[in-house]
Chains A and B, each alone.
Chain A
Amino acid sequence: MIPELPLFPEQASTMAGPVDQLYFFLIALSAFFSLLVAGLIIAFSIRYRRRRVRLERPEDFGMLQLEIGWTVLPFVLSMVIFYWGAMLFIDLRRPPADSLEVFAVGKRWMWKMQHLEGRREINELHVPIGQPVKVTLTSEDVIHSFFVPAFRVKQDAVPGRYTDLWFEATKPGRYHLFCAEFCGSQHARMIGQVIAMEPADFQAWLSGTERGAAPVSMAEAGKRLFTDLGCVTCHQTDDSGRGPSLVNVAGSAVELSDGSSVVADSAYLRESILRPQQRVTAGYQPIMPTYQGLVGEDQVLELIAYIESLRDRGSTPLGEVTQRKTEAATEGTAG
């Protein structure tokens, strides 16, 4: 049996090609300079090996010109690489507007995935090919990192905040998912698979028809939590409760008690659930208790999905993020 000796990872996302181009360019550049230095060392070593008479070397042969040359040339080259790498990075950091949203929570030592439509998975993530997918990440305990080599993407999942990454898979298959930030005993076993599927197969999978019962969407699950936890007693649909109404809050600007304002993005909503005293809506008392420890990160995500679904038609304009999410979700179910 000839053992497998791969030298190069599979390209399975739209970004894999561009990243690899920079990689190859840098390999060529490195090979050139390594061979140049090594070649000169070897050539000089042979040509000028130890001798009894001194070769006359002018005190300053082309000194300043050489010094300037080999300062400026590397600088120019490195700026080219900087620009190239920076452009790629900006692309990698900016999810396209029509991205499908999924959520991943790291917890020692597993990845818990949630789809807006309600399917949950452990250590597996099903995605369609040909569509950008944005993964929102957080962690229940320590820092983890979501790494899919075949897609050339990686992002840390940090407790207490949301981070994200995106990719667009280009061919169906099963790809490694690794945790890339050391997280304890079974760090190396915190691995899984991203399963890229044809869109139709993905839809079939998403609606749960393969297994029978249709899943409960994240917003629906959030609504149940909202009732079970008693949130609904203070946060009513009109402004009659002890807390502000949450209709249309997501994505809008919220006036705070200290006079400043904040956009109610998912980070703010999460904070308001777990550390409600932090930034209180203007006109309300800081009386909401913390839900830290009562809800897990996956449940927080469900509550946020529910809050984001609270809309009445024709009112204040929705936040851009939320809009995209709703559209993507609609498209997803329609397709």
Chain B
Amino acid sequence: MPDSHAASVPHAHHHGHDSHAGHAGHAVAHQFDDAEQQFGAATLGMWIFLLTEVMFFGAILAAYAIYFVTYVDPFEDASNHLSLALGALNTVILLTSSLTMARAVHAAQTADARTQVRWLVRTLALGAAFLVIKAFEYGSKFEEGLVPGIGFRYDGPGAAQHELFLSFYFALTGLHALHMIIGIGVLLVLVWMARRGRFSAAYFTPVEMSGLYWHFVDLVWIFLFPMLYLLGRH
């Protein structure tokens, strides 16, 4: 980018490491006037993104709700195929991970890199534990022949609707697990950034935004758990 032009733009910060751009060595991107505007844009962007996620999960949850109302009995029966214990354990794990994530966001603003990394790694470990348990659950469904399409062997009363329920179970929890995997990827990047001392009271946007995402993914599970696991128990 030619300097002659850049010089004539008072607010422009053309290069990532512009000397007067922001604190702690972090740059304000060239399209923004200041760090405040940049943070505001990032926050708004994240909330809008979460809104699209709400619509994404909302559509399939709405479809599920319609079928549930239509087939109350078979769906309630079918929910007994799921392991309440593992589901509840995962709920506890995720709720705890939300807590550690909140601590990580706090640490990013107030604490040193080592503390930041510690909270991020704890969150990461809990997320991984969730996925491992989920994998065991999926595995047992395979063994029991409860996976629609691939090997569905259940032929008790209302088998068709059980298959429908389990189709939704895999679609919903699968999408959720995919979000968890993405979240863990994001956490790995954050750990790497935190170790390099990128975050401080002046700049912690990535941690804050990832925190919003992580809480959202937890929130989805808070809907999924009762809607899938607790149907047959009332």
Contact = CB atoms under 8 A, between A and B. Distances in A.
Chains A, B in direct contact (C-beta < 8 Å): yes
Interface string A278-290: 1000000010000
A61 B161 CA distance: 65
B158 interface: yes
Nearest to A258: B73
Contacts of B159: 277
A275 B157 contact: no
Interface residues of B, number: 9
A275 B70 CA distance: 14
B74 interface: yes
B86 to A, nearest CB: 28
Interface string A253-287: 00000100000000000000001011000000010
A87 B39 CA distance: 56
B125 interface: no
B71 to A, nearest CB: 8
B160 A275 contact: yes
Contacts of B158: 277-278
Interface in B107-162: 157-161
A278 B164 CA distance: 13
A275 B161 CA distance: 10
Contact of A286 (B157, B160, B161): B157
Contacts of A277: 74, 157-159
Contacts of B73: 258
A277 B78 CA distance: 13
Most chain B CB within 10 A, of A258, A275, A278, A286, is at A278
Contacts of A258: 72-73
Interface in A48-99: none
Interface in B49-80: 71-74
Nearest to B159: A277
Contacts of A278: 71, 74, 158, 161
Interface string B159-174: 1110000000000000
Contacts of A286: 157
A108 B31 CA distance: 58
Most chain A CB within 10 A, of B71, B72, B74, B157, is at B157
A275 B159 CA distance: 9
A292 B161 CA distance: 14
Nearest to B73: A258
Contacts of B157: 277, 286
Contacts of B72: 258
Contacts of A275: 160
7 contacts: A258-B72, A258-B73, A275-B160, A277-B74, A277-B157, A278-B71, A286-B157
9 shortest interchain CB distances as A-B pairs? A277-B157, A286-B157, A277-B158, A258-B73, A275-B160, A278-B158, A278-B161, A278-B74, A277-B159
Interface of A: 258, 275, 277-278, 286
Given A277-B74, A277-B157, A278-B158, 9 more contacts: A258-B72, A258-B73, A275-B160, A277-B158, A277-B159, A278-B71, A278-B74, A278-B161, A286-B157
